[in-house]
Copies of this chain bind each other. A is one copy, B any other.
């Protein structure tokens, strides 16, 4: 079978990471996320009622194979991000954090400057930092240098479902990175997820495309299979492209 993915001290069999936003009900969310077989599920701290032990989201995700990944969605600066991460560490008893700093409410694109600043500080504070960023190869290397455990470049704006609009840069990032590369944001169809994996991404994060599908449970399963297919193809090595046709069947004149 496929190689496992290791981030920090955890190993993952599934290379499909998911999120909890936009589902029409908690029940549907639970069913879809179980169908996805995802082992890392991001949750916005603001959605977790930390004072309430019966918090709806957390109770639905209380499964052995599921690791919760709090994210800092909603923060606008490095300072706010660090504060959010510390709150989440206390509330969810995890030092993992998905670092998201996107000041612009229209396209939700990440801020490279604040993200690097927050990443550096969070690493010093002992966090396993998973930063959501533009597909900027130089920024990825700088984040790696300050000690993040992976990089999460975007394929397209969050929730746009446009697919891999940054593929020329994802290829460079994957080629250069010494930490896992997880394509985040923009993946809107199983074929997009398979493509990211075929390029050599270590994992993908999918939320909107599952949550707002008409049938989230089936869509979650479709993404699970596509991610496995893409990874398997990557490990099996794809055949090269050719400018010319190459016959599959013998072409000597039929009657000769």
Known: A134-B138, A213-B238, A236-B215. A159 touches B247 (CB 8 A): yes
A216-B237 Cα distance, complex, nearest whole Å: 9
A118 at interface, CB cutoff 8 A: no
Known: A84-B254, A113-B112, A230-B226. A219 touches B245 (CB 8 A): no
A138-B136 Cα distance, complex, nearest whole Å: 12
Do the beta carbons of A198 and B208 come within 8 Å of each other? no
Q: Closest Cβ of chain B: how far from A166's Cβ, in Å? A: 8
A24 at interface, CB cutoff 8 A: no
User: Which residue of chain B has its CB nearest to the CB of A220?
Assistant: B236
Known: A232-B218, A239-B161. A245 touches B188 (CB 8 A): no
Do the beta carbons of A161 and B242 come within 8 Å of each other? yes
**Beta-carbon contacts under 8 Å, A219-252 to B:** 219, 221-226, 228-230, 232-233, 235-252
Do the beta carbons of B244 and A188 come within 8 Å of each other? no
A237-B162 Cα distance, complex, nearest whole Å: 15
Do the beta carbons of B76 and A160 come within 8 Å of each other? no
A207 at interface, CB cutoff 8 A: yes
Determine, out of A4-12, A59-67, A103-111, A122-130, the stretch whose residues face the partner at the interface. A103-111
A168 at interface, CB cutoff 8 A: yes
A47 at interface, CB cutoff 8 A: yes
Known: A112-B113, A244-B107, A245-B109. A237 touches B208 (CB 8 A): no
Number of copies: 4
User: Which residue of chain B has its CB nearest to the CB of A196?
Assistant: B191
A14 at interface, CB cutoff 8 A: no
Q: Which chain A residues have a beta carbon within 8 Å of chain B's beta carbons?
A: 19, 21-22, 42, 44-47, 71-76, 80, 83-84, 100, 102-113, 116, 134, 136-139, 141-142, 156-162, 165-169, 172, 176, 188-192, 194-195, 198, 207-209, 211-216, 218-219, 221-226, 228-230, 232-233, 235-255
Given A219-B232, A221-B232; 11 other pairs, CB 8 A cutoff? A46-B252, A73-B247, A73-B254, A109-B245, A160-B243, A161-B240, A190-B198, A214-B237, A218-B233, A223-B229, A225-B229
